[in-house]
Amino acid sequence: MATFVLVHGAWQGGWCWKRVSAFLRRYGHEVYSPTLTGLGERAHLLDGTINLDTHIQDILGVIACEELTDIVLCGHSYGGVVITGVADKVHQHIRSLVYLDALVPEDGQNVLDLLPVEVGLSFQDIARTQGDGFRVAPSPAIDFGVNIQDQAWVDRRCVDHPLGSFEQPIQLQGLWKQVARHRYIYASGWAPGIGRPFFERAQKELGWETINLPCGHDVMLDMPKELTQILIASI
């Protein structure tokens, strides 16, 4: 039996892992899919003080309180930044890092640095003009290539995301690179496909494994069975 910690992306919550979590548990694994502060069922906590450190601490808290070790730590989209920060602090507890169509930062970068300039500016503009200065409203699911059957469900569940977590630069010592196994899963079936530059970089880096899946950004919804098998193979 292995231990999986699954970290969702921006605007979503632990709910997005429902199918994959069920499959993993069916195979006898232990699964945690915490919701980051201010999102999902914790949306009532959203305020202007939430930043990237808050979300990193959310996951560190789960690892500490549940006394987890030998973890397969997976981050989707924005969650890739979060798991990098987590692994940099507790790399000794992580067996594998899995980046699911995710952003992969270097020291001193923030989320906006990792996205096309116009996307980052649009997030800041939305927060300034529509979100009390700190809320970024979600884009419709169709923009992320979510399959048609799940689009309405995803749109109902997504909530505003704290801008502070996009703007705060990550502070890394490089210890996350000491984790034994790194995998990058690229979702190639949608545009603009934010994972492509990180996938291409991972293909060139020693010690990284790469996988290409022909689906939308929310792989856990479009291809949950396939993703489950990839995660199990990451043990």
Question: CB under 8 Å to 225, separation ≥6 — which residues?
Answer: 23
The string of pLDDT tens digits covering residues 85-123 is: 999 999 999 999 999 999 999 999 999 999 999 999 999
Share of the chain above pLDDT 90, in %: 99
Beta-strand pair 30-32/135-136: unpaired
Range of the domain at 209: 3-232
- Could you tell me which of 157, 145, 138 has the C-alpha nearest to residue 219? 145
Longest dimension (CA), the chain: 48
pLDDT number for residue 178: 98
Q: Which run of H or of E encompasses 95?
A: strand 94-100
| Percent of the chain residues past pLDDT 70, beyond the cut | 100
pLDDT at position 60 is 99
pLDDT of the residue at 42: 98
Look up 21 and say whether it is catalytic: no
What pLDDT, in 10s, does the model give residues 182-231? 999 999 999 989 999 999 999 999 999 999 999 999 999 999 999 999 99
Of 21, 77, 96, 165, catalytic:
77
Per-residue pLDDT band for 22 (boundaries 50, 70, 90) equals very high
pLDDT at 131: 87
Contacts of 118-123 spanning 24+ positions with Cβ under 8 A: 120/166, 123/163, 123/166
The CA-CA-CA angle for residues 10, 57, 162, to 5°, reads 35
Nearest to 6 by CA among 86, 106, 65, 67: 86
CATH of the domain at 188: 3.40.50.1820
Give the closest residue to 97 by CA, choosing from 178, 217, 19, 14.
Answer: 178
- The answer to whether the predicted template modeling score (pTM) of the entire model surpasses 0.85 is yes
Nearest one of 1, 5, 3, 10 to 217, comparing CA atoms: 10
Reading the block at residue 24, the tokens are 């993993």
pLDDT at 175 over 90: yes
The pLDDT, as a whole number, for residue 192 is 85
Q: Given strand 181-187, what is the order of strands in its sheet?
A: 30-32, 3-7, 71-76, 94-100, 181-187, 208-213
Average pLDDT of the residues of the chain: 97
Predicted pLDDT of residue 170:
98
What is the model's pLDDT at position 124? 96
Q: Into how many domains does the chain fold? A: 1
CB 88 within 8 A of CB 172: yes
